[in-house]
Chains A and B, each alone.
Chain A
Amino acid sequence: MTTIEKPTYTIIGTRPIRPDGVEKVTGKAQYGADIRLPGMIFGRVLRSPHAHARIRSIDTSAAESFPGVLAVLTHADFPVAADRVEELGETAVNLKELSENILAAGKALYRGHAIAAVAAANPHVAEEALKLIKVDYELLPPVTDVRDAMREDAPLLNENRYTKELGGAKSDKPSNIASHVQFQSGDIAAAFADADHVVEREFTTKMVHQGYIEPQNSTASWNSDGTLVIWTSTQGAFSVRAQLSEILKMPVARIKVVPMEIGGGFGGKLPIYLDPVAALLSKKSGHPVKVVMNRTEVFEGTGPTSGTYIKLKAAEKGGKLTAIEATLAYEAGAYPGSSVGAGAMCMLSPYNIENFKIDGYDVVVNKPKTAAYRAPGAPASAFATESVLDELAKAAKIDPLQFRLQNSAHEGTRMVTGVPFPRIGHEEVVEAALNSAHYRSPIEGPYRGRGVASGFWFNAGMQSSVVVSVNTDGTVNLTEGSTDIGGTRASLAMQLGETLGIPYDTIKPTVVDTDSIGHNDVTGGSRTTFASGMAVYEAGMDVQREMLKRASKLLNAPETDLVYEHGGVHVVSDPAKKMSFKEIAAQSARTGGPINGKGSVLARGAGAAYGTHIVDVEVDPDTGKVTILRYTAVQDVGTAIHPAYVEGQIQGGAVQGIGWALNEEYYYDDTGRMANSSFLDYRMPTTLDVPLIDTILVEVPNPGHPYGVRGVGEVPIVPPLAAVANAIADATGHRFTDLPISPRRVVEELHGLG
């Protein structure tokens, strides 16, 4: 671990046992599928078998009269949604499109698009009843490739969609290009004309899924008093509540969302799919209703990340990166909202470059509406940038890491938006990579090669609320509302322990429902340890202030003569007079009542994250198999609150990126059917496919946080795509610009069979 300017901490930086560990390994942790309620029935969803079709009619009469069926639902049961954009959770959402993605209205826009739902006494009856629903489809030609969808003669998903530019300008004609963003500075023409070397390439990446283990699920109980309770697997209970409120046109306070333990999300559990369906099935049937997706439904009916096409031209002069011109086209899926804007904003952020022009296009296609996936948008654009940088470094005869270092962004460098960076750690990360044992080791042998790449992610702040309740035995309950995906119960309890100077194991953190805590934005954008940690710090300071008041009475000393330090209070003028946290807590009933602290923040000062990865590969020229021999991920983590969790986040992100680089893809046939919608055929890496991912934690504390926290969960998925491609280029002499670099593609390329 490389540490820079870090204070000494007692709890932060240690590796205590996770609070949820025992329940999870003993099978007692409650996930959404574990919910059992009196009178509960089961819902199933009918999905479109066609990628693009007009829905002429839906006849549900036979299903409704089927024995055991208690409710049938179509989009006609939804209140009419407004065609307007709202901020719900982390991102802006068009309410009409959100509603129509949950149950199709008028058109089925992708295979797997939900059409209708049935609730019955058991899931088998519900499944049988689905077969009785008659949907009259008018088949339309599908378009599933982003470049095909951009053609003027492409089939239109929505005849009323026009291309928006920043702030609402529209195109003259309807188009599948939903929006266009642009970033521009300097004089690229002059820089290209004056360059020593110019490289121009086209890249493609395929749609890939987050691959979380737990499928989406929702259980709803619509009560006779008009209130609604939802038990669900989500990255943001308050976002679910806000979306339900808009779609069902219910007051927010009448909806309670209970976040269950979550079996992975990675951004894919930010949108809602089943919650309104379960809610209205419950309302119609008068029973609690549970709906759980199977794996095929997860692949075909939830949001993966975009397939992309990127064209990039870059120039170098005297070892300096002088110009970039890029065009990015990202598949949004059936409705607008790909991460092309973020991809465009991230792609140059590791570097200091004066001349650039980047155009980004958000394009609808007949595939599932895309969702966030770990640093959404950044991996594909980094694949393009970091591949071309590697070629420029080689052309300039400069070590690829040295090339990155001498072109690195630093404090004051402006992003492509014009926003200047505060203190960032890319230079430190690249230096740590240059000095690593891995990079200093030789890589030898035929068809073996080494690749490197850097990546950037913004990280977010947003809103968090926590409450700290001090018990009379000196233990503490930490009540929070942020879904714990990657260890935030531990990281928040550790920050509270550090703030109060009390042992970690005296703090019990609990994630509660939306009725039981103030608003919390989603667990996304790598924000929870940062922003909820800031709320925890505020709550801890609130408790400290109350402890001083109580100690003033107990020690018979004015507050101005007291100091809170090392888990207790002492009199400054007479240090022998002191009380511990536990002793003051024990007297709370006699000094003013319960001691509670609260923290409510709109967190500012989120610090950006950088990672640089090194990978060694061996390529089998006969089978096309790429073996990862060694992998090291270096990352600026701000302050590693719980280093084991940080390492786990980095290792997980790296492995997902390796899968994206080598194997994973939504494989479509000509009719728009995903041909590999199971984990048997959708090839994610297993422990047998990767070595132990070594991590180097560089700690450049974020000045915007009391403990220097930066988000760590997203940026590790950004560098692997390019790092692996660069290593394969080093091993084979062949530059692969289309992902995945599957065995078939390798064999075709190496043997000229393409």
Chain B
Amino acid sequence: MVSVWVPALLRSLCGGAARLEVEGGTLGDVLRALDLRCPGLYDRVVEGGRVRPELAVAINGEVLSLALHEPLAPGTELTLVPAIGGG
């Protein structure tokens, strides 16, 4: 299972849940599985076959630029966050 922290603005799609456990071997699988619990979430996160450029994914606490085929080990903690730029 992958533990997903749902961003505040997407929780309404998930019945208000802030954290969900879903199955999935890759980032894409996890987002698809999440979409079954939170209808419409996949399209809010993915556009044109990739995570939207204005979003980023944190895996076990580290914000990374990941493709949907990125493998995720069971027990992974996944968080969706806005992308950040520095000066």
Q: Which residues of B are in contact with A by a Cβ distance under 8 Å?
A: 5, 7-10, 18-19, 41, 43-45, 47, 52-55, 58, 61-65, 77, 79-87
At the interface, yes or no: A376 with Cβ under 8 Å from chain B? yes
Rounded to whole Å, the gap between the CB of A243 and the closest CB of chain B is 14
**Once the chains are docked, how many angstroms separate the CA of A369 from the CA of B51?**
25
Residues from chain B with Cβ under 8 Å of A181 in the complex: 9, 82
22 pairs of residues in contact across A and B, judged by CB atoms under 8 Å = A85-B53, A90-B85, A91-B85, A92-B53, A92-B83, A165-B9, A167-B43, A167-B44, A168-B44, A266-B87, A342-B85, A373-B87, A417-B58, A417-B82, A418-B5, A418-B18, A418-B79, A421-B61, A422-B61, A459-B86, A604-B62, A605-B62
At the interface, yes or no: A169 with Cβ under 8 Å from chain B? yes
Residues from chain B with Cβ under 8 Å of A460 in the complex: 84, 86
Q: Are A419 and B44 in contact (CB under 8 A)?
A: no
At the interface, yes or no: A527 with Cβ under 8 Å from chain B? yes
Residues from chain B with Cβ under 8 Å of A417 in the complex: 5, 7, 58, 79, 81-82
| In the complex with contacts A92-B54, A180-B9, A184-B8, A419-B86 CB distance below 8 A | no
Q: Are B61 and A345 in contact (CB under 8 A)?
A: no
At the interface, yes or no: A183 with Cβ under 8 Å from chain B? yes
**Once the chains are docked, how many angstroms separate the CA of A449 from the CA of B41?**
51
Q: Are B8 and A525 in contact (CB under 8 A)?
A: no
Q: Which of B82, B83, B85 contacts A376 (CB 8 A)?
A: B85
Residues from chain B with Cβ under 8 Å of A183 in the complex: 7-8
**Once the chains are docked, how many angstroms separate the CA of A457 from the CA of B84?**
11
Closest Cβ neighbor of B50 among chain A residues: A87
Residues from chain B with Cβ under 8 Å of A376 in the complex: 85-87
Closest Cβ neighbor of B61 among chain A residues: A420
Q: Which of B53, B80, B83 contacts A86 (CB 8 A)?
A: B53
**Once the chains are docked, how many angstroms separate the CA of A180 from the CA of B52?**
16
**Once the chains are docked, how many angstroms separate the CA of A165 from the CA of B52?**
13
Per-residue CB proximity of A138-180 to B under 8 Å, as 1/0? 0000000000000000000000000001111100000000001
CB contacts between A and B, total, < 8 Å: 118
Per-residue CB proximity of A182-193 to B under 8 Å, as 1/0? 111100000000
Q: Which residues of A are in contact with B by a Cβ distance under 8 Å?
A: 85-87, 90-92, 165-169, 180-185, 210, 265-268, 270, 339, 341-342, 345, 371-376, 417-422, 457-460, 524-527, 602, 604-606, 714
Q: Are A525 and B86 in contact (CB under 8 A)?
A: yes
**Once the chains are docked, how many angstroms separate the CA of A184 from the CA of B10?**
11
| In the complex with contacts A167-B44, A167-B52, A604-B62, A458-B84 CB distance below 8 A | yes
Q: Are A714 and B81 in contact (CB under 8 A)?
A: no
Q: Are B87 and A167 in contact (CB under 8 A)?
A: no
**15 other A-B residue contacts (CB within 8 Å) besides A417-B5, A602-B65:** A91-B85, A92-B54, A92-B83, A169-B44, A183-B7, A342-B85, A373-B87, A376-B86, A376-B87, A417-B58, A417-B81, A419-B61, A524-B86, A524-B87, A604-B64
Q: Are B82 and A345 in contact (CB under 8 A)?
A: yes
Residues from chain A with Cβ under 8 Å of B55 in the complex: 166-167
Residues from chain A with Cβ under 8 Å of B47 in the complex: 168
| 4 A-B pairs closest in CB distance | A267-B87, A167-B44, A525-B86, A418-B5
Q: Are A524 and B85 in contact (CB under 8 A)?
A: yes
Most A-side CB within 10 Å, residue of B45, B62, B82, B85:
B85
Q: Are B79 and A90 in contact (CB under 8 A)?
A: no
**Once the chains are docked, how many angstroms separate the CA of A91 from the CA of B54?**
8
Residues from chain A with Cβ under 8 Å of B82 in the complex: 166, 181, 341-342, 345, 417
Residues from chain B with Cβ under 8 Å of A606 in the complex: 62
Residues from chain B with Cβ under 8 Å of A714 in the complex: 86-87
Residues from chain B with Cβ under 8 Å of A169 in the complex: 9, 44
| In the complex with contacts A85-B54, A167-B45, A419-B81 CB distance below 8 A | yes
Q: Are B85 and A525 in contact (CB under 8 A)?
A: yes
**Once the chains are docked, how many angstroms separate the CA of A605 from the CA of B63?**
9
Q: Are B53 and A166 in contact (CB under 8 A)?
A: no
**Once the chains are docked, how many angstroms separate the CA of A604 from the CA of B70?**
15
Q: Are B52 and A182 in contact (CB under 8 A)?
A: no
Residues from chain A with Cβ under 8 Å of B64 in the complex: 604
**Once the chains are docked, how many angstroms separate the CA of A92 from the CA of B80?**
16
Q: Which of B8, B9, B44, B84 contacts A345 (CB 8 A)?
A: B84
**Once the chains are docked, how many angstroms separate the CA of A341 from the CA of B81?**
9
| In the complex with contacts A166-B82, A184-B8, A419-B81, A375-B87 CB distance below 8 A | yes
Closest Cβ neighbor of B10 among chain A residues: A166
**Once the chains are docked, how many angstroms separate the CA of A92 from the CA of B51?**
12
Residues from chain A with Cβ under 8 Å of B9 in the complex: 165-167, 169, 180-182
Rounded to whole Å, the gap between the CB of A7 and the closest CB of chain B is 23
**Once the chains are docked, how many angstroms separate the CA of A148 from the CA of B80?**
32
Most A-side CB within 10 Å, residue of B18, B64, B83, B87:
B87
Rounded to whole Å, the gap between the CB of A521 and the closest CB of chain B is 10
Q: Which of B41, B53, B62, B87 contacts A87 (CB 8 A)?
A: B53
Residues from chain B with Cβ under 8 Å of A524 in the complex: 85-87
Rounded to whole Å, the gap between the CB of A266 and the closest CB of chain B is 6
Residues from chain A with Cβ under 8 Å of B86 in the complex: 90, 267, 372, 375-376, 457-460, 524-527, 714
Closest Cβ neighbor of B18 among chain A residues: A185
Residues from chain B with Cβ under 8 Å of A527 in the complex: 86
Q: Are A345 and B81 in contact (CB under 8 A)?
A: yes
Closest Cβ neighbor of A87 among chain B residues: B53
Residues from chain B with Cβ under 8 Å of A422 in the complex: 61-62
Residues from chain B with Cβ under 8 Å of A419 in the complex: 5, 58, 61, 63, 79, 81
Residues from chain A with Cβ under 8 Å of B19 in the complex: 418
Closest Cβ neighbor of B19 among chain A residues: A418
**Once the chains are docked, how many angstroms separate the CA of A122 from the CA of B41?**
57
Q: Are B85 and A372 in contact (CB under 8 A)?
A: yes
Rounded to whole Å, the gap between the CB of A163 and the closest CB of chain B is 12
| In the complex with contacts A166-B9, A169-B44, A417-B5, A342-B18 CB distance below 8 A | no
**Once the chains are docked, how many angstroms separate the CA of A167 from the CA of B82?**
10
Rounded to whole Å, the gap between the CB of A233 and the closest CB of chain B is 15
**Once the chains are docked, how many angstroms separate the CA of A458 from the CA of B84?**
9
Residues from chain A with Cβ under 8 Å of B54 in the complex: 85, 92
Closest Cβ neighbor of A342 among chain B residues: B84
Rounded to whole Å, the gap between the CB of B23 and the closest CB of chain A is 20
Residues from chain B with Cβ under 8 Å of A459 in the complex: 86
Rounded to whole Å, the gap between the CB of B70 and the closest CB of chain A is 12
Rounded to whole Å, the gap between the CB of A205 and the closest CB of chain B is 16
Residues from chain B with Cβ under 8 Å of A375 in the complex: 86-87
Residues from chain B with Cβ under 8 Å of A86 in the complex: 53
